[in-house]
């Protein structure tokens, strides 16, 4: 009995288990880039990369080929993250003065429309408070993006059959990375410029003692001459004139030192590349997004309608998984119930054949008769667990998954362990078992609610009872 339940749990878990696989998509110039990585302990392993050309009509065949390549990874049910760079969003840093703590939230809500080029209903944003309030002044950092831009990004992914679990903004990810990983490593204080390089593009974060002062996105047009460092130098000069501060350090998030040297030629500050993951051939911003998602340290910009679509798909998968578990359970019950019966019938047939052959030997006939009586008694004892499985199957309501069934023939005690989506389902099952003449002393030993990140609240339970005298002969 225990062997059958363990086989059932193994098959069910193997079907439901999700590897720690992540898919990250982002738009880079004229391509949609997709990276698949697997978390192994505290490290990341690159599984593969795919890309799709943008800016031109795509044929059905091109989309089908792209989806076929993704299917090599998607059967493992990866967590999907879409990363939006700073060029498609905006970051505002402003200070509120003379505002009490009680009035701060209302003052921020009033100030936000003044800082953004969009109507409030067409804006997706979040904000954080920087540092400690000083002399009645509070610094606010706001991250925002137009919902129309979000719909364009998510619509392009949806056309390829991709629905992201989370949508992250590059500036939000970089600020989280600087505060959690780079500051402890570099122990920088004072004014610092944190640079993330793209091909002919860069995102600059000016920080002072870990607080964001300004965020800039720099892009070098194809017609421009000179190095990207000249454009960054101009932006640095504008920052110094506005804030009257000169950065003491320039940290660059880029795996290739040669690319840093080439891109930042002409930049006046001495730069120091930051290689947090030198052994990975993945964009450091992608790895930072994976780390930020794992730590739940950044805001999710996913639109409500995308969240609803994701939930509908998750519910559909859950129903399929539940159907599979029920089929697997039925098959396990069939094997546990009928395999011993068929084996016993075969032994009885073999004994009868031997009786025919050895009819002249009285002693042999008596011995065989005793064996047959023992087998018959064994079959009668085994009828109880067979009826237990049959009645148990009838008592299990929809929404309950039996994970383990322990049965001891002497003195006929059974213990059921399982999980349910609602507590009422557990009570229904216990009542159904109590009203069956086969069971006696049915008690609900334990019901414990546990939170599951994917499925919400689940109720783990134990039901104990004993097989009674109402079993059929």
Rounded-to-integer distance, Cα 345 and Cα 170, Å: 70
| pLDDT band for position 377 (cuts 50, 70, 90) | low
Res 140: pLDDT = 92
- Compute the average pLDDT of residues 272-301: 85
Rounded-to-integer distance, Cα 166 and Cα 171, Å: 15
Q: Is the pLDDT of residue 297 over 60?
A: yes
Going by C-beta distance under 8 Å and a sequence separation of 6 or more, which residues neighbour residue 124? 144, 145, 146, 147, 150, 301, 303
* Structural domains of the chain, ranges and CATH numbers in brackets: 23-302 (no CATH), 315-467 (3.30.1360.100)
Angle, nearest 10°, between helix axes 170-177 and 284-295?
80
| pLDDT band for position 361 (cuts 50, 70, 90) | low
Nearest by Cα to 170 from 292, 254, 287, 84: 84
Chain position carrying tokens 């990276």: 35
- Compute the average pLDDT of residues 331-339: 63
> What stretches of 221-303 show up as alpha helix (H) in DSSP?
228-243, 257-263, 284-295
Between these two residues, 314 and 138, which has the higher pLDDT value?
138
Q: Is the pLDDT of residue 225 over 80?
A: no
- Helix, strand, coil percentages for the chain (3-state, nearest 5): 45, 30, 25
Percent of the chain with pLDDT over 90: 10
pTM as predicted: 0.61
Calculate the average pLDDT of the chain: 78
Biggest CA pair distance of the chain = 117
| Strands (DSSP E) found in 147-227 | 166-169, 191-198, 201-208, 211-219
Q: Please say whether the beta carbons of 27 and 54 come within 8 A.
A: yes
Q: Is the pLDDT of residue 18 over 70?
A: no
Q: In 10 A of CB 439, how many CB atoms?
A: 23
- The tens digit of pLDDT for each residue in 232-278 reads 888 888 999 998 988 888 888 875 666 677 777 777 888 888 888 87
Nearest by Cα to 209 from 186, 232, 233: 186
Between these two residues, 190 and 151, which has the higher pLDDT value?
151
Res 224: pLDDT = 56
Highest mean pLDDT among 300-309, 395-404, 461-470: 395-404
Res 104: pLDDT = 87
Instruction: Indicate the pairing of strand 413-420 with strand 439-452.
Output: unpaired
Using alpha carbons, list the distances in angstroms from residue 240 to 44, 129, 252, 351.
Answer: 38, 23, 19, 100
- Compute the average pLDDT of residues 387-402: 81
């Amino acid at each position: 009995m225990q062997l059958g339940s363990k086989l059932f749990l193994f098959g069910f878990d193997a079907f439901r288990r999700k590897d720690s696989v992540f898919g990250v998509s982002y738009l880079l110039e004229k391509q949609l880039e997709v990276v698949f990585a697997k978390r192994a302990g505290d490290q990341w392993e690159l599984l593969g990369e795919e890309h799709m050309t943008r800016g031109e009509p795509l044929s059905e065949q091109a989309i089908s080929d792209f989806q076929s390549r993704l299917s090599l990874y998607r059967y493992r049910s990866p967590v999907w993250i879409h990363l939006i760079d700073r060029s498609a969003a905006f970051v505002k840093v402003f200070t509120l003065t003379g505002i009490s703590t009680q009035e701060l939230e209302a003052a921020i809500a009033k100030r936000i429309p003044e800082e953004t080029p969009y109507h409030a209903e067409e804006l997706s944003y979040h904000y954080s408070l920087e540092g400690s309030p000083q002399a009645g002044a509070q610094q606010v950092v706001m991250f925002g993006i137009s919902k129309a831009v979000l719909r364009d990004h998510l619509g392009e992914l949806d056309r390829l059959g991709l629905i992201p679990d989370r949508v992250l903004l590059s500036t939000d990810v970089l600020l989280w990375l600087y505060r959690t990983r780079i500051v402890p490593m570099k122990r920088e204080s004072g004014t610092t410029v944190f640079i993330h390089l793209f091909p002919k593009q860069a995102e600059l974060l000016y920080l002072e003692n870990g607080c964001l002062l300004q965020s800039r996105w720099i892009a070098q047009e194809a017609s421009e001459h000179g190095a990207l460092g000249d454009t960054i130098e101009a932006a640095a000069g504008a920052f110094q004139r506005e804030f009257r501060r000169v950065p003491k350090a320039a940290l660059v998030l880029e795996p290739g030192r040669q690319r840093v040297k080439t891109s930042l030629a002409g930049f006046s500050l001495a730069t120091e590349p930051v290689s947090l993951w030198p052994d990975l051939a993945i964009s450091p911003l992608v790895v930072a997004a994976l780390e930020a998602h794992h730590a739940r340290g950044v805001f999710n910009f996913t639109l409500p309608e995308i969240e609803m679509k994701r939930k509908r798909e998750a519910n559909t998968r859950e129903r399929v998984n539940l159907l599979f578990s029920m089929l697997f359970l039925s098959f396990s019950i069939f094997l546990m119930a009928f395999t011993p019966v068929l084996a016993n019938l075969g032994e009885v047939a073999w004994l009868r054949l031997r009786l025919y052959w050895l009819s002249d030997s009285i002693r042999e006939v008596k011995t065989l008769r005793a064996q047959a009586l023992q087998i018959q008694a064994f079959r009668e004892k085994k009828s109880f667990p067979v009826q237990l499985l049959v009645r148990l199957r009838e008592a299990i309501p929809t929404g309950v998954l039996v994970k383990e069934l322990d049965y001891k023939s002497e003195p006929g005690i059974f213990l059921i362990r399982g999980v349910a989506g609602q507590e009422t389902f557990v009570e229904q099952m216990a009542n159904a078992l109590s009203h069956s003449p086969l069971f006696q002393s049915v008690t609900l030993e334990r019901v414990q609610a546990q939170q599951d990140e994917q499925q919400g609240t689940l109720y783990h339970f134990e039901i104990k009872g004993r097989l009674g005298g109402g079993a059929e002969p």
